[in-house]
Structure 1
Amino acid sequence: MKTRSALLLAVLSVSKMLAAPVPALEGHDFFYAGENKVHDMYVVKKGEIVWSYHNHKSKGEISDAVRLSNGSVLFAHQFGITLLGEDKEVIWKLDAPEGTEIHTAQPIGKERIVYVMNGPEPKCVVHNIVTDKPEREFPLKVGNLKSVHGHFRHARLTAAGTLLVAHMDGGKVSEYDEHGKEVWTTPFPGPWAASRLPDGNTLITSTKLIREVDAKGGTVWECKPSDLPDHKILNLQIATRLPNGNTLLNNWVNPWDGPIDFGTAPAQALEITPDKKVVWTLRSWAEPNNLGPATTIQLLDVPSAAENVHFGEFR
């Protein structure tokens, strides 16, 4: 009996250690995905990975992913879009037509999504996932029709019901209404992502620059890798302005450049103050908590519904 009790205590102790929070993951609850050679996504809460998805037979990179309030995940993965249930079963998917790529998609309510398609006929599409039919589409201009991969990476709806599109090869960020009318634009070198802030300013990211601009395109705030000398910044992709005024940025490591040295790889994400002081660092390359390269980091500290947005009449 004593031996059995001792064994039970040992097992419980080991289980407790395995389930203990990982210091590298503490500080925020978040959903995480990144451009990688395989599809990997994670949910981290209280310093522990509580949900993960791995598809080693996948094709294409996850350039955009959104976790909905019911735990489902909508993600664009270059050669299509997938809506995945919390149980990891596919609810709906769309394959990108031959010669095209889809790198960004966002849910609109429970029945629709909006996505941008790279290709010989680049366009924005509102698609009903219940009827599985497009309900609205309009063309988008690009810099080079033949360079499909470089057209677009990220687009985001605003609180006003318009869509901000980062024209990566067009050197601009443009805002469109649901009919495709351009209602605002500003030049920007190689924009990867853009989001509208509550005060009306726009936060734009390229691989080596984060800049907040006002309605006239004037610089309000910016951050460059040289502003963060203690951190090796390789590729910025998405920056998110937090409710506390800080900015969350991802630092993508390119796995196509060669094997990633997990011992020397830089932090995957940083939270910085307006005066560019780092107050939170995410660096988790060690197994069994290797999150891989970072593209999307959606904070889950406060419950929210990412699908509660609209695009003009589409809700």
Structure 2
Amino acid sequence: MNNTTDSIRMKRVSPELIPGNELSHLDFFYAGEARKQNMYIVRNGKIGWSYTHPADGEISDAVMLSNGNILFAHQFGITEITPQKKVVWNYDAPTGTETHTAVPIRKNRVLFLQNGNPAKLIVMNKKTNTVEKELIMQVGNPNKIHGHFRHARLTKAGTILVAHMDMGRLCEYDSDGIQLFKMDIPGLWSAEELPNGHFLVTSKTVVREIDRQKNVIWEYALSLSKEDGCSVTSPQTSVRLSNGNTIISNWFNQWNGNGQVDMNNQPVQAIEVTPDKKVVWVLRQWQSPDLGPSTIIVPLSQPRTTEKASFGNIH
């Protein structure tokens, strides 16, 4: 590394935090796509709650509801459990389809994307188990269902922000399926609306904040994480903290090879970067406890509205 690069790195990185394993850095809810479907709540640097879902699939999306319940999508269905781990609602995806995202609408409804041929956006009433809305969704290849979608999020205006994974395209739709926004983003995995109305977008090579005019307001090229010794190679979701920092998750593929982590070269599960791209936290927690791969990290220290108010006229 030359002197110029070395100087830039020292300005951006807090080297003492690079080894990671700083569970006490913040309290958070955690889940990830893995062979063993686990979720955790970490408080004061320790596991305060954990759950293992006894089914096939992978946890692709999960959200803590305001009543403490957890709603999660696990490839072949969607389930809601209480903090006591009691199942209070469940949806089994039809044969030949997959569900990788779930978004609550107030208390009684859930919106999800169903990968399939055809792919669908569905709004279901959890109390009556009836479908209240169904839209056919465009995909890149109708027959390769696993790659259609991972994440969708409702906006404060009652529209839906969809990460078309197999198309590499971010789109916003109203409740009638009318496209309001479109932007091609290669390697797109997820996106969510920020309080300022901008979008925080996670793709394979970069995390960006963009406005509705497609201007890049902020970005963090993931090549920087490699230079900093905390390489993020498979990002899935990002979250903007109230202090302006951004947490970026990093997934590890347990289906490749023997699925075992090299404990002498542990992959990063998450990093936190400041607006000026300084790394201030690195998570590597693969033993005592083993958190597994990272997809979703939700900080518990800042207020978050989990149940969105509406999707169009559905409340």
Q: Which TM-score applies when normalising by structure 1? A: 0.89
Q: For residue 185 of structure 2, what is the aligned residue in structure 1?
A: 188
CA contact (8 A) 1:38 1:58 kept: no
Q: Which runs of 5+ in 1 are unaligned?
A: 1-21
Q: For residue 4 of structure 2, what is the aligned residue in structure 1?
A: none
CA contact (8 A) 2:249 2:294 kept: yes
CA contact (8 A) 1:193 1:205 kept: yes
Q: What is the CA distance between 1:267 and its match in structure 2? A: 2.2
CA contact (8 A) 2:236 2:251 kept: yes
* Residue number among 188, 192, 212 corresponding to 1:215 in the alignment: 212
Q: For residue 285 of structure 1, what is the aligned residue in structure 2?
A: 286
Q: For residue 14 of structure 2, what is the aligned residue in structure 1?
A: none
Q: For residue 45 of structure 1, what is the aligned residue in structure 2?
A: 43
> For residues 83-102 of structure 1, what are the structure 2 equivalents within 5 Å?
83-102=80-99
User: Residue deviations 1:227-278, cap 9 Å, x none?
Assistant: 2212121200101111111111101111111322234222211110111101
* Residue number among 128, 131, 139 corresponding to 1:131 in the alignment: 128
Letter in 1 for 2:274: T
Q: What is the CA distance between 1:212 and its match in structure 2? A: 1.7
> For residues 19-168 of structure 1, what are the structure 2 equivalents within 5 Å?
24-55=22-53, 57-168=54-165
Q: For residue 15 of structure 1, what is the aligned residue in structure 2?
A: none
Letter in 1 for 2:267: P
Q: For residue 11 of structure 1, what is the aligned residue in structure 2?
A: none
CA contact (8 A) 2:21 2:285 kept: no
Q: What is the CA distance between 1:152 and its match in structure 2? A: 0.4
User: Residue deviations 1:17-70, cap 9 Å, x none?
Assistant: xxxxx9621111110000000110000111111110023x42101000001122
Q: For residue 249 of structure 2, what is the aligned residue in structure 1?
A: 250
Q: Which TM-score applies when normalising by structure 2? A: 0.89
Q: What is the CA distance between 1:303 and its match in structure 2? A: 4.5
Cα distance in 1, alignment partners of residues 178 and 35 from structure 2: 36
Q: For residue 12 of structure 2, what is the aligned residue in structure 1?
A: none
Letter in 2 for 1:34: G
Q: For residue 299 of structure 1, what is the aligned residue in structure 2?
A: 299
Letter in 2 for 1:216: Q
CA contact (8 A) 1:157 1:309 kept: no
Cα distance in 1, alignment partners of residues 175 and 276 from structure 2: 37
Q: For residue 276 of structure 2, what is the aligned residue in structure 1?
A: 275
Cα distance in 2, alignment partners of residues 282 and 144 from structure 1: 35
**4+ aligned runs moved over 6 Å, structure 1:** none
CA contact (8 A) 2:240 2:247 kept: yes
Provide closer, same or farther for how the CA distance between residues 307 and 167 of structure 1 changes in structure 2, counting only shifts above 3 A: same
Q: For residue 14 of structure 1, what is the aligned residue in structure 2?
A: none
Cα distance in 2, alignment partners of residues 235 and 246 from structure 1: 20
Q: Which runs of 5+ in 2 are unaligned?
A: 1-19
Cα distance in 1, alignment partners of residues 313 and 123 from structure 2: 11
Q: What is the CA distance between 1:304 and its match in structure 2? A: 4.1
Structure 1 vs Structure 2 CA RMSD: 1.5
Q: What is the CA distance between 1:297 and its match in structure 2? A: 0.5
Higher relative contact order (CA 8 A, sep 6+): 2
Q: For residue 313 of structure 1, what is the aligned residue in structure 2?
A: 313
Cα distance in 1, alignment partners of residues 197 and 307 from structure 2: 21
Provide closer, same or farther for how the CA distance between residues 270 and 309 of structure 1 changes in structure 2, counting only shifts above 3 A: farther
> For residues 257-268 of structure 1, what are the structure 2 equivalents within 5 Å?
257=256, 258-268=259-269
Letter in 2 for 1:64: D
Tell which structure's C-alpha radius of gyration is larger.
Answer: 1
> For residues 168-179 of structure 1, what are the structure 2 equivalents within 5 Å?
168-179=165-176
